[in-house]
Amino acid sequence: MNAIEKKPAKLSISTNLGRIIRTVIGVAVLIWMALRFYNVLTVEPFGADVWTRIAISGLILGGMYALIAIGYTLVYGILFMINFAHGEVMMIGSFGGYFAFEILKNIPTPTADDPSLTFINAYPILSIIIAFLIGMSLASMSGYFLEKIAYRPLRGAPRLVPLISAIGASIFLQNAAQLLFGPQRRDYTNPGILWRGTGWTVEIAGSPVIITYTGVFSFVLSILLMIGLFTLVQRTKLGRAMRAVAQDKKTAALMGINVNQIISQTFIISGALAGAAGVMWGIHNGLINHYVGFIPGIKAFTAAVLGGIGNIPGAMIGGLTLGILETLGPAALGIDFQLKDVIAFSILVLVLIFRPSGILGEALSEEKL
């Protein structure tokens, strides 16, 4: 056996070329980033106040992305499909919240001190709760019907088919919203305690930095919802069932789990989270229209992939990371803020090239040969 000639066979050219290109790209990007960052730090350095402001807005944005990303990852983990219309579900949620506030601000509740007081300011906390309830329920229902009408009939079809259906549903929902409400942007009327732009003022590096009430509210709520979801998935019967179905549908069915029902419930939950994100978006950013869900939807999917598709904590981390990178990126690299979307997509491309399984790694059932 020792006398046998062993020569290692050569790897194919394409594999080598691919590897070389990948390394070249990686190194080039890193060098470029380092240079630009150095430039920014030395030529005209931003003060700590600017960085703080940016970091804060990044976190807030990240929280919303995380909520939407969880929805993507839940659906992908269970059905192996990209729910292209998830961004529209968020949009529906944001419209729900909008109309809730509009109605509430027109219910007169006059008092002796303030004859023009309306419900929304008389009971602000209740109003917020109502807005979220309405937004989240509308979004959940949309998710439920979306699955029932556009995805369920296609269960088991090759991957491309449900994706096209999802794209169609997304286009349909966007345009339905446009036809119903018109293309103009609408402004959220928050209750007084959450008036946009108001907040605590903090002195950092000599300049005032406003930590907005809406921002804090959104971020805290995002974290609470994430914790809630995590608990649901890890500790409850429903969560266990969801994880089982994501692992292996057939076996789960054999164990007595009603797979269809679990899938519906997954869509309801992911819709609720997206709806919450939609209402938050309206409260914090103000302007919404039929298109408001589209780009955040794509970015949230980016975030889900970034954290590791199918992985719920991954979606959370991915969302927060993407939010921060998207806001810090242009500043750190000295690039025009116009290009912030380029940053987001470039991150996506780079992550997928160098670590396709994401930050925390994928959590999907294996394909067997």
Partner 1 sequence: MQPILETHQLTKIFGGLTAVDSVDLTVPKGTIVSIIGPNGAGKTTFFNCTSGYYKPEKGEVIFDGMVINRLSTDQIAKLGISRTYQNIRLFANMTAIENIIIGQHCRLKTTWMDAVVHSPRFVREEREAVEEGRRLLNYVGLEGLGDNLARNLPYGAQRRLEIARALASKPKLLLLDEPTAGMNPQETHEMTGFIRNLRDSLGITIVLIEHDMNVVMGISDHISVLDFGTKIAEGTPKEIQSNPRVIEAYLGPGGAALSEKFLRKKHHDA
Partner 2 sequence: MKTKHASPLQNGLQAGAIFAILIIFFILTGFNETAANLVGRVLNNQVPNQLPATINLVIFVILMALWCGGMAAKKPELDAPDRYSDAVFAGAVAGLLAGLLSAAFIYLTGSIAAAGTDMRGYFPEMSPDYINFYLLNQPLMTAVLYHFGIMLVGSTLGALMARGIGRSSWRKKLNQEVSSSTKKLSQNSAFERVMNSKYSQYAMFALLAAALIILPREWGPYWNYLMGTVGIYILLGIGLNIIVGLSGQLVLGYVAFFGIGAYTFGLLTSPQPHAIMMNFWLALIAGVIMAAITGILLGLPILRLRGDYLAIVTLGFGEIIRILLKADILEFFTAGPKGLRSLAQPTLFGQSFSTDVDFMYLIILAVIISIFIANRIEKSRVGRAWLSIREDAIVSQATGVDTYRYKLLALAIGAAFAGLAGALFASRNQFTGPEDHILMVSINVLCLVIVGGMGSIPGIILGSFVLKGLPEILREFEAYRMLAFGALLVVMMIIRPEGLLPSSRPLMENHKPDSQEKNQGEVVEDAAHS
Q: Which token pair is 291?
A: 């298109």
**Phi and psi of 46, rounded to 5°?**
-75, 150
Minimum distance, C-beta of residue 12 to partner 1, in the bound complex (Å): 6
Q: Does 2 interact with partner 1 (rule: CB under 8 A)?
A: no
Q: Does 237 interact with partner 1 (rule: CB under 8 A)?
A: no
Residue with tokens 């890890």: 234
Q: Does 160 interact with partner 1 (rule: CB under 8 A)?
A: no
Site for partner 1 in 13-52 (CB under 8 A): 15
Segment 256-260 long-range contacts (CB within 8 Å, at least 24 positions apart) = 260/152
- Is the CB of 212 or the CB of 302 nearer to partner 2? 302
Q: How many residues bind partner 2 (CB under 8 A)?
A: 60
Say which residues have a Cβ less than 8 Å from residue 239's Cβ, sequence separation at least 6. Answer: 231, 232, 233
Q: Does 333 interact with partner 2 (rule: CB under 8 A)?
A: no
CA–CA separation, 86 and 359 (whole Å): 22
What is the amino acid identity at position 183? Answer: P
Q: Does 43 interact with partner 2 (rule: CB under 8 A)?
A: no
Minimum distance, C-beta of residue 261 to partner 2, in the bound complex (Å): 16
Q: Does 45 interact with partner 2 (rule: CB under 8 A)?
A: no
Q: Which token pair is 52?
A: 């703080």
| Binder of partner 1 out of 2, 12, 111, 338 (CB under 8 A) | 12
Q: Where are the alpha helices (DSSP H) in 80-115?
A: 86-104
Residue with tokens 């794509």: 298
Contact region for partner 2 (CB under 8 A) — 48-56, 78-86, 193-201, 277-285? 78-86
Minimum distance, C-beta of residue 158 to partner 2, in the bound complex (Å): 8
- Quick note: the x/- pattern for partner 2 over 290-329, rule CB under 8 A, is --------x--xx--x---x--------------------
Minimum distance, C-beta of residue 161 to partner 1, in the bound complex (Å): 14
Q: 3-class secondary structure for 89-142?
A: HHHHHHHHHHHHHHHHCCCECCCCCCCCCEHHHHCHHHHHHHHHHHHHHHHHHH
Site for partner 2 in 134-173 (CB under 8 A): 149-150, 153-154, 157, 159-165, 167-173
Sites of contact with partner 1 (CB under 8 A) = 1, 4-9, 11-12, 15, 369
